[in-house]
Structures are given as structure tokens and as C-alpha cells.
A and B are shown apart, each in its own frame.
Chain A
């Protein structure tokens, strides 16, 4: 199942390069954020999360940065591989709410 159609922002990078995918959120009361990866034909898959009391969190080849001042979230993928090709989207949880609000997504394409 394709996650989204023709109107996604896209990012193309060379294999081996680093990728940075950005997300702007709108609610200053959001206190928890998640990045998901969705490959073609699959459902979204949790990558990494961060809480609002942190500015940075690292995983395996991925780093999430949170800038609360400008309400901006980014996902950095180091040494991108062909398997990183997917749609990436962020989700925010507004403090006190019990549901996630998802962003539109960015399609990442890895060029050989």
C-alpha cells in the first residue's frame, strides 16, 4: 500500500550520504514526538522518539533533533542505504491528549 500520492515533499540523496528530514509542528503544548518510516506496501514503522525535555536523541544511524523555540523536529539518517528509501513522517502528542497527530510525510529516495 502506497502511503501517500503525488503531493509529498521529496528528498533524493546519494547512497552513503547523510539525510536530513524536517518536520514543523504547530502546537507548543506538544510534549512527545515520534518519527515513522513507511516503506512501499507496508504500514508505518516506529523509528525513534523524543520527549520535550530533550533536544537530541540518537539511535542506530538515526538522530532526532528537537528545537522547541521554533517548533521544529528533524530526523538525521547517517550513511543512507537503499533500504532507507521510504516515506518518513513525524507525529506529535499534545500534552494531555491521548492521540497522535501525524505530519504529511517526506519521500526519501536513495540514488545508487
Chain B
């Protein structure tokens, strides 16, 4: 609907598992974002990529590892997660990485549960 797709939509993993979240945008945008949305906190920016280069890492633990092979695809590799990492992970994209001029379009999110 928004031109940003995320897979899987739901993921349950153990603390010792390794999994990856995928995001793809079909809007021709150059900037992509990962956000975390927890039940008790506002939406938190995790990473920003602009033209495939990481421009923002918002003090995210190293157990979250992003990858941006091209401007249309963004991955979030997960390993050795904790139960408190359970949340909705949202991907977004925008024409450029300028929040004051470029509307961000969000995907539907991946609901992650860490057991």
C-alpha cells in the first residue's frame, strides 16, 4: 500500500537464534530507516541509510546489525537478542534523508517476539 514492504510480518525467535528482517521499497527513494516501536515507549529511530551509506546509528546494541546492499533494500540482522528486544520493527523510506522536507513512508512492520 505505501510502497514499503517488510518480511516476515511476525517472527518468534529464541535468544540464541540468528534471524534477519527484510525491507524493500518500490518508491525510488534514496534513504531508508529502521525504527523500533515498543509497547511502553515512543517510536525510536535505530538506523538511517542514505544512498546505501549508514548516516545514523542511534546507540543501538551490536546484536542488531543493519545492511543496505542497495537503495531499495534494507536488512536488520538479529543475533543473541534479549526478551526486551521484543517489539514492532518498522522500516521507512524517503526521497532523501532530510526529515524536514522528505516525508517518510513506513512499512507495516515486523512483530518480533524473543523468548
Contact = CB atoms under 8 A, between A and B. Distances in A.
Contacts of A45: 2, 106
Contact of B39 (A6, A42, A98, A101): A6
Contact of B56 (A5, A98, A105): A98
A31 B101 CA distance: 12
A82 interface: no
A35 interface: no
B90 A44 contact: yes
Contacts of B90: 43-44
Interface residues of B, number: 32
Contact of A1 (B1, B2, B41, B111): B111
Contact of B42 (A5, A6, A98, A104): A104
Contact of A102 (B39, B42, B58, B98): B42
Contacts of A112: none
* Size class of the contact patch on chain A: 20 to 34
B81 interface: no
Interface in B36-52: 37, 39-45, 48
A103 B2 contact: no
Given A45-B106, A102-B43, A103-B42, A93 B88 contact: no
Interface string A24-41: 000000011000000001
Closest 9 CB pairs of A and B: A43-B106, A5-B39, A102-B43, A1-B109, A102-B42, A1-B88, A32-B100, A1-B111, A44-B106
B68 to A, nearest CB: 17
9 contacts: A1-B88, A1-B109, A1-B111, A4-B39, A7-B39, A45-B2, A98-B55, A99-B45, A99-B58
Contact of B45 (A32, A89, A100): A100
Nearest to B90: A43
Contacts of B104: 46, 100
Contacts of A31: 100
